[in-house]
A and B are shown apart, each in its own frame.
Chain A
Amino acid sequence: MGPFFTSGDEFSYVIALIIGIGFGFVLESGGFSTSKKLAGVFYGYDFTVIRVFFTAAITAAIGLFYFDYLGWVDFSALYINKFFIGSSIVGGLIMGLGFVIGGYCPGTSACAVGIGKIDAMIYLAGVIIGAMIFDLFYPLYGSFYKSGNMGASSIYELLGMSKELFLLIFVVFAAVTFYFTTGLQHKITKKMNKKNEQ
């Protein structure tokens, strides 16, 4: 089964638009257009982001593995981005810093712009300016950006285990995270409420 459309197919833009609208709708419904909710993960009063991302990851992974098993998706034909270890670490730090300061990530900021949030509009303008600056000074760090290329590697390959075993460990880890973050969130919210009352 599939691919239904290739990347060169013009109709793929229409598909992208439909998926994008659905994705935006779900993000907004889940409260992901609120910077307070998003930033909550860094302050410990709201771990929804972690739980949502874990749920999304394991749902997609389990679905994909079952599809592969049934022969509906050719797992080996999937495109996997190359892994540049240095730029991934530095990029992750910058992204995290932007997330904690601004209260959005690039996707959720676009979602919040959709419902007319002014802070998100300014954030998104910052994203665009940041991208332009990155492009302008690219020759300065271009070699670092492309260094440490580990190819299209998967974590289960690097750990030397089967993808099914890794998935099982990952799902158990996600379940443990669900359990503990719920309790932790309750404790921190309680403390914050007490402080506010005082």
Chain B
Amino acid sequence: MEEVKQSKKRYILVSVIFILLALLLFLLPEKYDLKQKQVWELLRELNSNTRFVTTDYVAQKIINKEPAYKLIDVRNENDFKTFSLPGAINIPIKNILDKDKKGKYKYEDILKNDENTINIFYSNGTIYANQTLLILSRMNYKNNYVMKGGLNKWFETIINPRKPQKTAAESKHILYRNRKAYSIFFTGGGVQSETSPETPSQTPKVAPKKESPKEDEGGC
């Protein structure tokens, strides 16, 4: 009988240790990802402008139907349903780090790129897309870019381009002509009014004249 008591005592001690260890594991905060980027490296990346692409660059990608890019809208679902760029995927910024039951990042397959593919993020302005890029950059996700100026800039430059003055440089006129062609492509007709974000993009009808991205402002 004494032996049984001793044995029980031993098992109680072992059990208590195991339960405490399991309880601690259950109560611990969410795992800290040690693979994340160092703060100084992140800051250096943020200070450089290489993460931006222009609206012209995005317009060309869409028109040319290039396969090696993903256009990601980080606004909320309602805004996305109201208006989005053709072929865009909606991942609201608040959901970017969502995990599935296995603990894997839900959008990892979409957000992670190989060497040949890129992600272009956009929001209404630049802020949310920039924040998304910051999060992904911290997680060491590569080949991510922000459409500078977001949809506001898109409407300003692509949908309703402003005609340059006659005395302006030739390159400005070429850019304007390209943008007029883009506008026709995306609106399916004449130039739209300023307040047209409610209208989803139309099926392309006229292919624009292709120019080198170098002639546009910036690029990636």
Contact = CB atoms under 8 A, between A and B. Distances in A.
Interface of A: 51, 55, 58-59, 62, 65-66, 68-71, 75-76, 157, 160, 163-165, 167-168, 170-172, 174-175, 178-179, 182-183, 186
6 contacts: A62-B22, A65-B25, A71-B33, A75-B103, A76-B102, A175-B16
The binding surface of chain A is classed by DSSP as helix
Given A71-B34, A75-B103, A183 B8 contact: yes
Q: Which of A55, A62, A69, A171 has the most CB of B within 10 A?
A: A171
A60 B36 CA distance: 27
Contacts of A175: 11, 15-16, 18-19
Q: Which of B11, B16, B19, B32 has the most CB of A within 10 A?
A: B11
Given A71-B34, A163-B103, A171-B19, A179 B28 contact: no
Contacts of B103: 75-76, 163
Contacts of B22: 58, 62, 164, 167-168, 170-172
Contacts of B16: 175
Contacts of B7: 182
A167 B26 contact: yes
The 8 closest A-B pairs by CB, nearest first: A175-B15, A71-B34, A178-B11, A171-B22, A164-B26, A168-B22, A186-B4, A168-B26
A63 to B, nearest CB: 9
A55 B14 contact: yes
B12 interface: yes
Nearest to A62: B21
A68 to B, nearest CB: 7
Contacts of B32: 71
Nearest to B9: A182
Contacts of B35: 71
A165 B23 CA distance: 8
Contacts of A168: 19, 22-23, 25-26
